[in-house]
Amino acid sequence: MQYCPSPYSHQRRKSREVLIGDPANGGVIIGGDHPVVTQSMLTCDTMDTAESVKQTLDLVAVGCQLVRITAPTVKDAANLQNIVRELRARGCTVPIVADIHFKPDAAMEAVKWVEVVRINPGNYADSKKFAVKEYTDEAYAAELKRIEDKFTPLVLESIRLKRALRIGTNHGSLSDRIMNRYGDTPLGMVESALEFARICRKHDFHNFKFSMKSSNPKVMIECYRLLVARLDQEGPDWNYPIHLGVTEAGEGEDGRIKSAIGIGSLLCDGLGDTIRVSLTEDSPREIEVCRDLLAQIPHLAVTSLQGRKVTSGEAPSDVTMQPCNHVTPPFDPFHFERRETPEIELGLDGMKCGGEQTVRVVVTRATWEKVAPKIRPKDDVKPEAVYEDLNILELDPTAELRIEDINCDSQLVTVKDGVALPPITAFRLLVAQLNRLGRRNPILLKDCLQFESAALEPKIALLRAAVNIGSLLADGIGDAILVRAESGAGMSLRLAYNILQAAGCRSFKTDFVACPSCGRTLFNLQTVTARIKTRTEHLKGVKIAIMGCIVNGPGEMADADFGYVGGAPNKINLYVGKTPVKFNIPEAEAVERLVDLIREHGKWVEPEATQEVVATSH
């Protein structure tokens, strides 16, 4: 199986066109040769018509092309009529997407009023019970028949009303049927979506798109790659458009980095027809990040390696790459496995990298000189080697390497500066060359190989570094990293650590999984997330999930240590892993009760007295 024509050059996947409303009257076309479409979601109660209209207009004002509104009940779905009517009366023609979980009746109401209905195969006709059950083939077929009976009316109504559907699986809400047969895996997510797609195709309905969301960028990347490969296996007419997103990415720098790793990696490989950056912030801020991220792709991906002009930053150059311009990736695209390397000495204080060592952070001497005086003995964010002091072999992967060019496996290698390729392509080529020679050298990843004439804006430096380094880490490539495009010394150091945390390579602080607000949310996510962070952000190695409702909560918290979940208005349920342990806690008490729960499980430490920090986030 393959998920793109080549892992070394960008070629956008050719998907069929899906019509969202009437393109002649404010609708959009997703797929084909059309630009990637940006979208976001309202954070208010769907029954609040005035606020729903206001938030939609605010999103459209900043360039949002699709607006999603949750419809948790039939009553909410019915009120979509009022929202859409008021928007159209104001001259706003943006297509509306109804977000449906659990309630087929709500979907049947919503499809009357909106251009798209998003359904989640994991809970459209199932109530998740985390039941362990062995399904015979006959029992499984009976379940599929039951789902078909529930889903077919929506398909037929979508045909009649010329609507579109989004078949959107979430890592956190796979059905018990899928979980028991496939496990909580990318394959399970893909098969869950294909079951519903086959029902659509049975009725000759093709106006739908897919999404495969996870809060873990590595899982998300694997899911989308596997989906595209499976669609290709099914046949050329299975080329449905893809919506990209990292769900529950969180807020601030962390949310942007997670989203850039997941979405950016796939865009660079030519996948994706529409995107959403899910942040625990005001929705219009998501669109700014979407636009910024899309604007970086021409700088981060090349269209050819064979004697054509390619662009890296602003410097075009002729590049001819002969030995490795083949289809086979130098990594397993469907299963994460860190590339095997020997362990070697790296730099400061006997630091090692490669082998089973964590991925290390390298800085330039200029950065070292600025941050070293501020480092405290117990700091987790600190340089682990100085680039100029390393015994490192810098290679040009566009030239055919020979075995005599690399003395042994215990030499740290990197791509030399000035190579006219983006880092993702260059480092994949380097690994392919090493593999061809049978070498397993540890690799130092760089966020850039050439420098712009002027320093990048911090937000752009962040996105480029996250895409370039994070994508390669998700491929299993990299034993140390170097961030240089961020001009601030402390900022670049902090950014390197944040990328490693977001990519799941190491943990130097509390890891938060926080969903974006929507109409299902039972508390103010931004306020509560800030309050929880203030109390717990010093807990290195602890993962806390903050969920506004139970739609994705239990599943997305499967690898979290603790969960804070809206159970009812002003009432919070606390989880250990995916198991609820405390119920209906008054919201005013819930954060301290969470702290008590962490303490009960032996993972609480008291924060140290506040001192000057080496670096701050953007």
Taking only the tens place, the pLDDT of each residue in 374-404 is 998 888 899 999 999 999 999 999 998 999 8
Mean pLDDT within 57-83? 97
Among 355-369, 445-459, 508-522, 584-598, the least confident range: 508-522
Mean pLDDT within 467-495? 97
Q: Please, which residues bridge with residue 444 across strands? A: 480
What is the chain's percent helix, strand, coil content, to nearest 5? 40, 20, 45
pLDDT at position 304 is 61
517 pLDDT band, cuts 50/70/90, is low
Domain boundaries, the chain: 18-300, 330-502, 511-600
Residue whose structure tokens are 């290195």: 540
pLDDT at position 318 is 40
Residue whose structure tokens are 């099914």: 234
Q: Which of 414, 467, 434 is nearest to 330 (CA)?
A: 434
Query: Which residues does 256 contact at the CB level (< 8 Å), separation at least 6?
Result: 249, 277, 279, 289, 459, 462, 463, 466
Mean pLDDT within 42-61? 97
Among 2-11, 422-431, 573-582, the least confident range: 573-582
- Residue 436, Cβ neighbours under 10 Å: how many? 14
Does 3.30.413.10 match the CATH number of domain 511-600?
A: yes
Each residue of 124-176: pLDDT tens digit? 977 555 566 778 888 889 989 999 999 999 999 999 999 999 999 988 778 88
- In the predicted structure, residue 314 carries a pLDDT above the cut 70: no
Q: Are the C-beta atoms of 226 and 187 separated by less than 8 Å?
A: yes
Q: Whole-angstrom Cα distance, residue 521 to residue 547?
A: 8
CA 445, 9, 197: angle at the middle one, nearest 5? 105
pLDDT at position 107 is 97
Q: Are the C-beta atoms of 35 and 66 separated by less than 8 Å?
A: no
pLDDT at position 329 is 83
Q: From residue 441, give the alpha-carbon distance in Å to each of 281, 344, 415, 480.
A: 42, 9, 12, 12
Q: Whole-angstrom Cα distance, residue 81 to residue 76?
A: 10
Mean pLDDT within 337-350? 90
CATH architecture of 18-300: Alpha-Beta Barrel (3.20)
Residue 165, helix vs strand vs coil: strand
Question: Which segments of 238-386 does DSSP mark as H helices, in order?
Answer: 252-259, 265-268, 284-300, 365-371
- In the predicted structure, residue 461 carries a pLDDT above the cut 50: yes
Residue 47, helix vs strand vs coil: coil
- In the predicted structure, residue 508 carries a pLDDT above the cut 90: no
CA 216 to chain centre: 7
CA 204 to chain centre: 32
Extended beta strands in 439-550, E state: 444-446, 480-482, 511-514, 543-547
Residue type, 319: V
Query: Which residues does 433 contact at the CB level (< 8 Å), separation at least 6?
Result: 323, 324, 395, 397, 400, 401
Each residue of 253-304: pLDDT tens digit? 999 999 999 999 999 999 999 999 999 899 999 999 999 999 999 999 877 6
Query: Which residues does 57 contact at the CB level (< 8 Å), separation at least 6?
Result: 87, 90, 92
Higher pLDDT, 519 or 406: 406
What's the predicted TM-score (pTM) here?
0.90
Among 76-85, 102-111, 249-258, 598-607, the least confident range: 249-258
Tell me how far apart the 2 most distant CA atoms of the chain are, in Å: 72
Q: Which of 446, 481, 447, 450 is nearest to 461 (CA)?
A: 447
pLDDT at position 427 is 97
Q: Are the C-beta atoms of 271 and 3 separated by less than 8 Å?
A: yes
Q: Are the C-beta atoms of 528 and 548 separated by less than 8 Å?
A: no
Q: Which of 283, 270, 312 is nearest to 66 (CA)?
A: 283
pLDDT at position 315 is 34
Mean pLDDT within 12-17? 96
- In the predicted structure, residue 616 carries a pLDDT above the cut 60: no
Residue whose structure tokens are 């299975």: 238
What's the burial of 555, exposed, middle or buried (CB within 10 Å: 0-12/13-18/19+)? buried
Mean pLDDT within 559-580? 86
Calculate the average pLDDT of the chain.
89
Give helix then strand counts, H and E, for the chain.
17, 25
pLDDT at position 128 is 55
pLDDT at position 555 is 56
Mean pLDDT within 4-33? 94
- In the predicted structure, residue 98 carries a pLDDT above the cut 50: yes
180 pLDDT band, cuts 50/70/90, is confident
Q: Whole-angstrom Cα distance, residue 561 to residue 415?
A: 38
Higher pLDDT, 274 or 350: 274
**Tokens standing for residue 580:** 């609820």
- In the predicted structure, residue 74 carries a pLDDT above the cut 80: yes
- In the predicted structure, residue 450 carries a pLDDT above the cut 80: yes
Query: Which residues does 59 contact at the CB level (< 8 Å), separation at least 6?
Result: 40, 42, 67, 94, 283, 284, 287
- In the predicted structure, residue 307 carries a pLDDT above the cut 60: no
Bridge-based pairing state of the strands 208-213 and 18-20: unpaired
